Structure 1
Amino acid sequence: MPPSTTSRPRPRRGEGQWALGYREPLNKNEENKKNDDGLNVRQRIIDVYSKAGFDSIDPADLRGRFRWFGLYTQRAPGIDGGKTAVLEPEELDDRYFMLRIRIDGGQLTVAQLRTIAEISTAYGRDTADITDRQNVQLHWVRIEDVPAIWEKLEAVGLSTTEACGDTPRVILGCPLAGIAEDEVIDASPQIRQIYDEHIGSPLFSNLPRKFKTSVSGCSVHCVNHEINDVAFAGVTGPDGTPGYDLYVGGGLSTNPMFARRLGTFIAPERVSEVWAGVCAIFRDYGYRRLRHRARIKFLIKDWGPERFREVLEQEYLGYRLPDGPEPVLDPGVRRDHIGVHRQRDGRYYVGFAPRVGRVSGTKLARIADIAEAHGSDRIRTTADQKLVVLDVEESRTEAVTAALEAEDLQVRPSVFRRQTMACTGIEFCKLAIVETKARGASLIDELEKRLPDFPEPVSININGCPNSCARIQVADIGLKGQLVTDADGRQVEGYQVHLGGAMGLNASFGRKVRGLKTTAEELPDYVERVLRRFLEQREEGEPFALWAARADDADLT
C-alpha cells in the first residue's frame, strides 16, 4: 500500500512551561531546583560548608545552588582550552571560588568600595574585576571565608544574593542617574524598588534561566537596553511627563537577538509591578526543557511582542498599559561616561578606564581614597568595565585626574583603552577556551604604539568562549575565543572574528567572513591591518560598523 499523502501533525513536544501544566522537571537543572530552592543554600554555607570545608559540599549545591549567592568554582590552574568541553565538571573545578558582588545601578559609596577592597586583599589574593554588568568579581575565595565576607558586605548594604543562577541578576542603571544634565529621568528609585520588593523573593528564585534587567533614563543609553531580557528605557510620555519604554527579549550568547518593543508607556510608579509581571511570564511560560532555549528571548520570538503584551496586561497586571513613544537614539554619541563632565548641580563627574576591567583590591582602595580626598562619597561602575567618581568641584577636577592617572586609571584614554573589553577568560572561567584579560591589555599597548593617533571610536570586545559575556556580536571588532591552526599546523589559541556589530539606530550583529580567524599571536597584526584599511576606504563621517558591512571580504581579512 502506498504511503498516505496526508500526514498528521506531529504533536508539539512539551517545553516544561509551568503555565501549561508541565511541572515535572525535564532536565537535571530543573530537578535540582525542584528539590530545593537555591535561596536555601545560604544557611548550609554558614552552618555546614564553611565549618567542614570544601570536601563537605553537596555537588548539587556546589555546581548549582551556590550560584544563587554569587559563587562559582573557578577553573583549576593548568587546564588548557582544548579540555574545556571534554573534562567532567569535577575535573575542571578548583577548590576556590569566584564571588560576584551585585552592585545594582552601579552605585557605590566610598565605604562600600573600601569594604570590597578590604575583602579582596584579605580573602581574594588582591583580585578584582569590574564586569560589563556593573558588578565586581573576586577570585581565590575559600568556602571557609564566605560567611565573614557576607557579614562585611551586608554591614555596608551590599549583597551577593542572586548575583548568579536562574534568578533576576543585577539591575543595570546609568552611573549618572540623578546628576546628568541631559538625562530623561532618574531611575534610581525604580531600581531600588525592584530590588527591595523582588530580589531574594521565592516568587522569582526559580526561573528557567538567568534574567537580566536594565532601568535607565540615560540620554545615550549606556546600559544597552537592546540586549537585556527586560529593559525600561527613559522617554518623555505623551503628556510631557517622563517614564519608560518597555523592551523584552534581548540577549546575545550563541543565538543573539535584540529586544522587542512592546510599545507601552510605563509610568515610574508602575515599573516594579510591570517588571514583576514580565518576570512572572518568564517563570510561568518560559521554556524549561532545553537549557540553551530557556531564555525569555526564545519565548518572545515565538509569541511576538503583541501577544506578550496581551498576556502581560490580561493575565498579570489586570489593566491595559498606555501606548508610548520610542526613546531618542543618537548614532554619533558614545555610550560611556569617560572624561570630565559637568553635572546638573554645577559640580563635575570624572570617568576613567582601567585595562579591560582588571583592577585589584589595592587599586579599589586607592580609588576610594582619591574620591574621599577630593570631596566625593559616590563612585559608580559602568556597563563597559569602567568607573566614575561623582560630585567633584570644578577646581579639583585636575587634581582628581592626576591622582587617577598616576594609578594607570586613564581619564583621557586612547581609543583602544577606552573601548576594549574582555571577559574573565581561561585564567579563572571553566567555560573558557582561551586567555582574554592579559591578551586585551597587551593588544591595547600594541595598538597605542602602532596607531597612536587613531581618530575614530572603535570597540574591540574579547571573549574566551562562544557565550558572549563581553558582547562580541555588537562590537566593531568582536573576537570569539577558540583553538585555531597556525601556519605550522599546530593547534593554538585564537579567535573567530565578528566585524561591524552595533546598537542604536544602526543596530546589527557583527558580520562573520567565512573562515576568518586569527591566532592570538597574530591578533595585533590583524587588527592593525583592518583598521588601516578602514581609514583608507571609509567615506566622510562613516563609522567602522557601516564600513565593515559594505567592505569586500578581502579587505576584512
Structure 2
Amino acid sequence: MYRYDEFDRAFVAERIDQFADQVERRLSGEITEDAFKPLRLMNGVYLQLHAYMLRIAVPYGTLASRQLRMLAHVARTYDRGYGHFTTRQNIQFNWPRLEDIPAILRDLASVEMHAIQTSGNCIRNVTADHFAGAAADEVVDPRPYAEILRQWSSVHPEFSFLPRKFKIAVTGSQHDRAAIQVHDIGLQAKRDENGNLGFTVYVGGGQGRTPMLAKKIKDFLPEEHLLSYVTAILRVYNMQGRRDNKFKARIKILVHETGLEELRSQVEREWAELKDGELTLPDRDIAAIGDYFALPDLFARPEGWRQLAEWQRGDEGFARWAARSVSAHRHPDYASVTVSLKPIGGIPGDMDADQMDAFADLAEEYGFDELRVTHEQNLVLPHVAKADLEPLYRALVPLGLAEANVGLVTDIISCPGLDYCGLATARSIPVAQALSQRFADPERQRTIGDLKIKISGCINACGHHHVGHIGLLGLEKKGVEAYQITLGGSADETASIGEIVGKGFAPEKVPDAVETIVDTYLSLRDGADEAFIETYRRVGAEPFKAALYPENAKAA
C-alpha cells in the first residue's frame, strides 16, 4: 500500500499545526463559530446534533493493521469506544471534544492518516473497488490511479473551492463494485483493441435531492491523459457550475442543463489546451506509484482446495459464511473475504475498539497486513489463503464478525440519521435494526437471496437509498416521520435509480411493508436463481404497488 513521502508528512504536519491554532482561537472565543466553520470543514470536522464529528479519510478504502489499531486507540481514548464506517470508505467518530481533535490528528498522522478533504466543496476521498488488486475479473488494479488522483487533488489551488463537493470513483473491472455511475466522475479501466490501457469516463452522477446516473463522456481515455482530462472536466464545472443555489450546484445539474454533447464539446476544447502538457503521466511515474500496490508474496497453498471442501461439508455454519463472504481471487489458492459489520439487530457500519484491535491482529495473521473498507459499510481481507479460511472464521465468531449475510436482506446500508446528524429528518438506525431482526432467520435470508436494502435519514441520501433494490428515505412532515419506498435501484454496471412506489409508511410499519415486498417477489420470481432486481425489472412496479397499497387496487 502507499506510504507517505516527505511531502505528505510535511503537508499533514503543517496542516495539523495550523488547525490546532484555529481550534485554540475558537475555544478562547477569538473567532466565532461562523468564522470557524469553513476552517473545521477543511479538516473533516462537522458539528452534528449533539457533538462535533470527525471524519477520517481512508483513501480508496485501503488500511494497514497499524492504522486500524490507531483507529481503535482514537475510539477508546477520545470517543465512546467505537467508530462508524461510511459509504465513502471513510470512518467517522461521533463524539470527540473539539479541544481533543488536534491530538487525534497528530496520533493519526503517526500512522499516515488524516482528515483533510473529507468535507467541504472540494474533491473528496477518491474511492475504488474494495477487491482492487485481488479480483479475479480485474483488468488492472485501480488503486494506483486513485492514488495519483489523490496526490493531484490534495489542496489543489484551483479546485479547493468548487461550486459543491466533488466525488470520484475508480474501478478496474467490468463488474462495477465501486458505484461509478453515481459519482461526479466515474472511471472504469479497460483495454482497447490493441491492448492499451485506458478509461471509460462517466460524468454527472449523484444522488441526493435530484438523483441522476452519470453519462458516458468518453469511451476510451488513454491512461497517460487521466489527469489532463479530469482537469478539463473540473475546469468546465468550476467555471460554469452554479454557485447561487446549492441544490443545483453539483455537476450533474450542469450536465443535465447543458446537455451531454455540448458539455463534451466544452471539455474537449479545454482538454485540447492541456493534452500532452505537464499533466501527461509518464510511464515511469505510473509504474512508481504502481509499485506501492504490488501483490504480497502469495506462495502456493494448494492444500486449501481440499481443506475448504472438507470444512464446508463438515460445518454448516462455516459453509453458510463461506458461501456469502468468500470471493474469487486472481491467485487460485487464495480468496478475498468480506467481513460483515451488520450483526442482527446491530448498527450498520459500527465497529468497537476491541473488535478493531482484534481484526487488525487477524489481518496480520491471515491477510498480509492489509484490509479494505467497502462503500457498503463492511470490511474486506483481500488476500486470504483458502487453507486459512476455517481458522479465520473460528477467530471471527467470538468477535461477532462472522455474520453470514453479505449481500443478503440483513446486510443493510444505513446512514446515522437523526440519532446523530443535524441534517437528518428521520431516525434511520432503528428502522435498519428492526428490519435486521425481522429477517434474522438464516434460512429465510438464503431463500430470499441477493437483496440490497439501503436507508437514508434525509434527502441527502448518505445511505444511497436511490440505488437500493429496496430504498427507504426517511422524511418528516408536521413532526411525524414517514419512510418513502423506492424499488429497482442498483449501483453496479447495470445502474438504475429506484422508482417511488407510493405514499410513505410510519417507521413501525416499515418492516411489514418490506416483508410484503419480499413476499411479492418470492411469489413472482422465475425460479430460485432469479434475484430480486431481475424479477423487478421483468415484472415492473405494479405488482409491488398493488401488494403495498391494496386500497388503491380496490378503488380502481
Question: Could you say which TM-score interval applies, normalised by the shorter chain?
Answer: 0.7 to 0.9
Who is 2:439 aligned against? Answer: 447
Match of 1:343 among 317, 329, 354: 329
Correspondence list, 1:112-511, <5 A: 112-318=67-273, 339-345=325-331, 346-355=333-342, 356-374=348-366, 376-410=368-402, 412-413=404-405, 416=408, 419-449=411-441, 451-483=444-476, 492-504=480-492, 506-511=494-499
Q: Is the 8 A contact 1:177 1:186 kept in 2?
A: yes
Paired letter, 1:311: Q
TM superposition shift of 1:552: 5.6
TM-score by length of 2: 0.81
Distance 1:392 1:505 in 2: 27
- CA 1:475–1:59 in structure 2 vs 1: closer, same or farther (change >3 Å)? same
Question: Any unmatched runs of 5+ in structure 1?
Answer: 1-38, 77-95, 322-336, 486-490
Instruction: Report the secondary structure of 2:434's partner residue.
Output: helix
- CA 1:438–1:407 in structure 2 vs 1: closer, same or farther (change >3 Å)? farther
Q: Is the 8 A contact 2:85 2:349 kept in 1?
A: yes
TM superposition shift of 1:342: 4.0
Paired letter, 2:254: L
- CA 1:201–1:414 in structure 2 vs 1: closer, same or farther (change >3 Å)? closer
Instruction: Report the secondary structure of 1:318's partner residue.
Output: helix
Who is 1:525 aligned against? Answer: 512
Correspondence list, 1:30-41, <5 A: none
Q: Is the 8 A contact 1:351 1:411 kept in 2?
A: no
Q: Is the 8 A contact 1:168 1:212 kept in 2?
A: yes
Instruction: Report the secondary structure of 1:219's partner residue.
Output: coil
Q: Is the 8 A contact 2:130 2:380 kept in 1?
A: yes
TM superposition shift of 1:532: 0.7
Question: Any unmatched runs of 5+ in structure 2?
Answer: 1-12, 277-322, 343-347, 550-556
Distance 2:15 2:28 in 1: 14
Paired letter, 2:45: L
Looking at secondary structure, tell me which structure has more helix per residue: 2
Paired letter, 1:69: N
Distance 1:388 1:542 in 2: 24
With 542-551 and 388-397 compared, the bigger mean Cα shift is at 542-551
Correspondence list, 1:94-105, <5 A: 96-105=51-60
TM superposition shift of 1:411: 5.6
Paired letter, 2:505: T
TM-score by length of 1: 0.80
TM superposition shift of 1:414: 6.2
- CA 1:429–1:290 in structure 2 vs 1: closer, same or farther (change >3 Å)? same
Who is 1:514 aligned against? Answer: 502
Who is 2:33 aligned against? Answer: 59
Q: C-alpha offsets along residues 17-68 of structure 1, whole Å, 9 cap, x if unaligned?
A: xxxxxxxxxxxxxxxxxxxxxx999655311424762755522344333211
Paired letter, 1:531: V
- CA 1:507–1:216 in structure 2 vs 1: closer, same or farther (change >3 Å)? closer
Match of 1:68 among 20, 42, 59: 42
Who is 1:539 aligned against? Answer: 526
Percent same amino acid among aligned pairs?
Answer: 28
- CA 1:65–1:283 in structure 2 vs 1: closer, same or farther (change >3 Å)? farther
Paired letter, 2:65: V
Q: Is the 8 A contact 2:57 2:90 kept in 1?
A: yes
TM superposition shift of 1:492: 4.1
Distance 1:338 1:219 in 2: 21
Instruction: Report the secondary structure of 1:551's partner residue.
Output: helix
Paired letter, 1:522: K
Instruction: Report the secondary structure of 1:367's partner residue.
Output: helix
Residues matched between the structures, number: 479
TM superposition shift of 1:360: 2.3
Distance 1:202 1:58 in 2: 26
Q: Is the 8 A contact 2:228 2:274 kept in 1?
A: no
TM superposition shift of 1:104: 1.3
Instruction: Report the secondary structure of 1:526's partner residue.
Output: helix
Distance 2:14 2:483 in 1: 40
Distance 1:43 1:133 in 2: 26
TM superposition shift of 1:433: 1.7
Who is 2:541 aligned against? Answer: 549
Paired letter, 2:340: A
- How large is the RMSD of aligned CA atoms in angstroms? 2.5
- CA 1:225–1:391 in structure 2 vs 1: closer, same or farther (change >3 Å)? same
Who is 2:7 aligned against? Answer: none
- CA 1:418–1:107 in structure 2 vs 1: closer, same or farther (change >3 Å)? farther
- CA 1:50–1:395 in structure 2 vs 1: closer, same or farther (change >3 Å)? farther
